[in-house]
Amino acid sequence: MRDPLNKKIKNVEPSGIRKFFDIVSEMKDAISLGVGEPDFDTPWHIRDEGIYSLERGRTFYTSNSGLMELREEICRYLKRRQGISYSPAKETLVTVGGSEAIDLAFRAMLDPGDEVLIPQPSYVSYLPCAYMADGVPVIIQLKAENEFKLTKEELEAAITPKTKILVLPFPNNPTGAIMTKEELLPIAEVVREHDLFVLSDEIYSELTYGHTHTSIASLPGMQERTILINGFSKSHAMTGWRLGYACGPEAIISQMLKLHQFAIMCAPTNSQYAAVSALRNGDGDVQNMREAYDQRRRFLMHRFQEMGLECFEPFGAFYVFPSIQEFGMTSDEFATKLLEAEKVAVVPGTAFGACGEGFLRISYAYSLEDLKVALDRIDHFITRLREQKDRKNV
Amino acid sequence: MNEAREKILHFIEKNSRVDLHELAVILGMEEAAVANEIANMEKEEIICGYHTMINWEKTNNEKVTALIEVRVTPQRGQGFDNIAERIYNYPEVQSVYLISGGYDLLVTIDGKTLREVSQFVSDKLSTLESVLSTATYFILKKYKDHGTVMSRKKEDERMLVTP
């Protein structure tokens, strides 16, 4: 029989997290700090709106771009939170999660051989999506000493005549790093100078602590070269509703709409009605969840300090990214041993790029009670590792 | 109210047993400052007590709770305060609220048996001279109390590891 498969797709590695998931799933009583989604239920008024839309029989397609009502709310939201004005009719597209928007943007913008700059550690889908869209992923390895922020120098060093898109994944999964307006300004300057476009994945934009998020699209001359991607999964604890959006120049959004229209038709209708309520009445919920995450973040940072575990202070998302380099193990080894010895699951930093080696992603999308138990176990584990090391040295 | 106080209150409203050191860490404040604010709020009677949520239905302890709507004649110069005090001084009365609408006071009362509660209403409450009428509703089941859903332990249904 002929090979039924596309060679390009066959070459794509499955997500590194998958392997770890399989190991953890075997272990019945493991505590996991490995989840990349909120622990909160979707606020009730949003769920209620979803239910109501079903009761009303709103079970039909919406327009390909999404409900006009929702697109208008999205544009109002971006105006009030980021000060950016988009046209709901021409510059806004409602997608099946932020992930779809990432895929669409690459496919709409890349010609074969175009290079896509992907700072790592970062979310697992940029690289395969860029590759499947015939782009050439070029990795920029972010450094712990810069708190995993992208610097102008790192960006400039990676640019070639073929570079077309810079992915800007901040607030960042897995490091929790954010980039402030001051830090974005020089990046924007380089982007304009080299005539690049930015895919700005701002899915964690509502989860920043002590700083407010700045979108690169709000900087001078940047709106016309930025695809802003956001969604409801993290801000409103709506992962399972699968709802995100992209905003950007009409020329790009209209092409993304073509792909979306033929592959997806439209995002789920009841999710869209629920999201309207999220944007109209959900600011207080977002504020409460942000405060709860911030409390956990402070708790974790304090415990790491007590344990003497090196970790830069992250100001975004719901992850911390401590270093385990002192133990002389790879991230994979450490995570596996921690799971075996203490039944605590964390994700090795390498799942998010080779430069995540020596780090772990620890999620704090868990109750303080759960975090306490898990952190006590991690404490116990590293105390034993240090004792073993000392004994060897004697 | 200052921001520190608001943060403290929001947290301890749901978790009064939190250790002081831990509370300071979680709120990003100095331990001494947290202790001070709490002591002051106790003095100012902003914090009025630290209680325990108990689901009595799960114990052998028999208990009946009733809501009583009370219509009263307000007294000159005193309004409702005097009659409210005469009601809330009974230890079996759990709460007394002045209510807008069709009646005046909403009283909740705990008793061991239906008879005990009925007796309170007929012997003590109805006989107060400014009480015009009462309507008693026995609570059959508490689903949610003080913002806490009773007897529902939610399982974490998320996948264990996700990107």
Q: Looking at the domain assignment, is residue B96 inside a domain?
A: yes
pLDDT top residue among B3 and A208: A208
Interface of B with A (CB under 8 A): 7, 10-11, 22, 25-28, 156, 158-163
| Cross-chain residue pair A295–B26, CB shorter than 8 Å | yes
Nearest residue to A329 via CA among A389, A380, A378, A379:
A389
C-alpha distances in Å from residue A181, one per residue of A150, A165, A265? 13, 20, 36
Note the pLDDT of residue A390.
87
Nearest residue to A309 via CA among A327, A336, A331, A333:
A327
Residue A36 in contact with partner chain B when CB distance is under 8 A: yes
Give the number of A-B residue pairs with CB atoms closer than 8 Å: 53
What residues of chain A lie within 8 A of the CB of B160, using their CB? 21, 24-25, 30, 32, 34-35, 345
Residue B35 sits in the same domain as residue B61: no
Using CB atoms within 10 A of its CB, is residue A114 exposed (0-12), middle (13-18) or buried (19+)? middle
Cα(A185)–Cα(A72) distance, rounded to whole angstroms?
A: 29
* Tens of pLDDT, residues B66-82: 999 999 998 888 889 99
Q: Looking at the domain assignment, is residue B148 inside a domain?
A: no
pLDDT tier at A181, thresholds 50, 70, 90: very high
Q: CB under 8 Å to B10, separation ≥6 — which residues? A: A291
Q: Of how many residues is chain A composed?
A: 394
Residue B38 sits in the same domain as residue B82: no
Count of structural domains, chain B: 2
DSSP track, B21-69: HHHHHHHT--HHHHHHHHHHHHHTTSS--------GGGSS---EEEEEE
- Residue B28 to chain A, least CA–CA distance (Å): 7
Point out the least confidently predicted range of A160-174, B49-63, B149-163.
B149-163
Q: Looking at the domain assignment, is residue B22 inside a domain?
A: yes
What percentage of chain B reaches a pLDDT higher than 70?
99
DSSP track, B131-149: EEEEEEEE----SEETTEE
| Cross-chain residue pair A35–B159, CB shorter than 8 Å | yes
Using CB atoms within 10 A of its CB, is residue A103 exposed (0-12), middle (13-18) or buried (19+)? buried
pLDDT tier at A16, thresholds 50, 70, 90: confident
Cα(A98)–Cα(B47) distance, rounded to whole angstroms?
A: 44
Smallest Cβ–Cβ distance between A36 and the set B7, B22, B162 belongs to B162
Residue B87 sits in the same domain as residue B131: yes
CATH number of the domain that residue B7 is part of: 1.10.10
The angle, 0 to 180 degrees and rounded to 10, between the axes of the packed helices A269-281 and A44-55 is 140
Q: Looking at the domain assignment, is residue B163 inside a domain?
A: no
Q: CB under 8 Å to B99, separation ≥6 — which residues? A: B69, B105, B106
A228 pLDDT above the threshold of 80? yes
Q: Looking at the domain assignment, is residue B155 inside a domain?
A: no
Q: Which residue of B has its CA nearest to A288?
A: B10
- Residue B102 to chain A, least CA–CA distance (Å): 29
* Tens of pLDDT, residues A263-304: 999 999 999 999 999 999 999 999 999 999 999 999 999 999
Residue B130 sits in the same domain as residue B104: yes
Smallest Cβ–Cβ distance between B27 and the set A37, A124, A295 belongs to A295
CATH number of the domain that residue B126 is part of: 3.30.70.920
* Best mutation target, A24, A40, A239, A302, to test chain B (most B CBs within 10 A): A302
Q: CB under 8 Å to B31, separation ≥6 — which residues? A: B20, B21, B24
Nearest residue to B163 via CA among A323, A19, A322, A137:
A19
B152 pLDDT above the threshold of 90? no
Cα(A196)–Cα(A303) distance, rounded to whole angstroms?
A: 42
Smallest Cβ–Cβ distance between A35 and the set B10, B22, B161 belongs to B161
List every span in chain A annotated with CATH 3.90.1150.10.
Answer: 7-42+284-383
Cα(A88)–Cα(A244) distance, rounded to whole angstroms?
A: 14
Contact A118, A130 (CB under 8 A): yes
B133 pLDDT above the threshold of 80? yes
Residue B62 sits in the same domain as residue B19: no
* Best mutation target, B7, B152, B160, to test chain A (most A CBs within 10 A): B160
Nearest residue to B70 via CA among B155, B135, B142, B154:
B135
| Cross-chain residue pair B26–A368, CB shorter than 8 Å | yes
B153 pLDDT above the threshold of 80? no
Q: Which residue of B has its CA nearest to A34?
A: B161
What residues of chain B lie within 8 A of the CB of A15, using their CB? 163
B146 pLDDT above the threshold of 90? no
Q: Which residues pair with B104 in a beta bridge?
A: none
Which tokens in the block code for residue A216? 């690169």
Strand extents, DSSP E, A9-120: 31-32, 92-95, 115-120
Q: Yes or no: is domain A7-42+284-383 CATH 3.90.1150.10? A: yes
Region A228-245: mean pLDDT is 98
Note the pLDDT of residue A13.
84
pLDDT tier at A128, thresholds 50, 70, 90: very high
The DSSP element (H or E) to which A152 belongs, if any, is helix A152-158
Cα(A328)–Cα(A333) distance, rounded to whole angstroms?
A: 10
Note the pLDDT of residue A22.
84
| Cross-chain residue pair B163–A37, CB shorter than 8 Å | no
A21 pLDDT above the threshold of 90? no
Smallest Cβ–Cβ distance between A34 and the set B25, B26, B161 belongs to B161
Smallest Cβ–Cβ distance between B162 and the set A37, A296, A368 belongs to A37
Cα(A297)–Cα(A176) distance, rounded to whole angstroms?
A: 10
Report the 10 Å Cβ neighbour count for B26: 22
| Cross-chain residue pair A125–B27, CB shorter than 8 Å | no
| Full residue range of the structural domain in which residue B16 is found | 3-43
Note the pLDDT of residue B77.
80
Note the pLDDT of residue B48.
96
Note the pLDDT of residue A28.
78
Note the pLDDT of residue A393.
78
Residue B27 sits in the same domain as residue B68: no
Residue B67 sits in the same domain as residue B92: yes
* Tens of pLDDT, residues A58-78: 999 999 999 999 999 999 999
Cα(A2)–Cα(A88) distance, rounded to whole angstroms?
A: 47
Contact B19, B38 (CB under 8 A): no
* Tens of pLDDT, residues A96-126: 999 999 999 999 999 999 999 999 999 999 9
Region A341-363: mean pLDDT is 96
Residue A351 in contact with partner chain B when CB distance is under 8 A: yes
- Residue B3 to chain A, least CA–CA distance (Å): 13
Q: Which residues pair with A94 in a beta bridge?
A: A245
| Cross-chain residue pair B162–A299, CB shorter than 8 Å | no
As assigned by CATH, the class of the A45-281 domain is alpha beta
Region A134-163: mean pLDDT is 98
What residues of chain A lie within 8 A of the CB of B22, using their CB? 299
Residue B24 sits in the same domain as residue B60: no
What residues of chain A lie within 8 A of the CB of B149, using their CB? none
Cα(B160)–Cα(B163) distance, rounded to whole angstroms?
A: 10
The average confidence (pLDDT) of chain A is 96
Note the pLDDT of residue A77.
98
Contact A36, B162 (CB under 8 A): yes
ipTM of this predicted complex?
A: 0.86
Cα(A143)–Cα(A64) distance, rounded to whole angstroms?
A: 41
Sheet with B64-72, strands from edge to edge, namely: B93-98, B105-111, B64-72, B131-138
A394 pLDDT above the threshold of 90? no
* Tens of pLDDT, residues B79-132: 899 999 999 999 999 999 999 999 999 999 999 999 999 999 999 999 998 999
The DSSP element (H or E) to which A179 belongs, if any, is none
Residue A189 in contact with partner chain B when CB distance is under 8 A: no
What residues of chain B lie within 8 A of the CB of A125, using their CB? 163
Residue B39 sits in the same domain as residue B62: no
What residues of chain B lie within 8 A of the CB of A25, using their CB? 160
Q: Looking at the domain assignment, is residue B74 inside a domain?
A: yes
Residue B20 sits in the same domain as residue B70: no
Residue A40 in contact with partner chain B when CB distance is under 8 A: no
Residue B136 sits in the same domain as residue B65: yes
Residue B72 sits in the same domain as residue B106: yes
What residues of chain B lie within 8 A of the CB of A345, using their CB? 160-161
Note the pLDDT of residue B47.
97
Residue A283 in contact with partner chain B when CB distance is under 8 A: no
Cα(A358)–Cα(A386) distance, rounded to whole angstroms?
A: 16
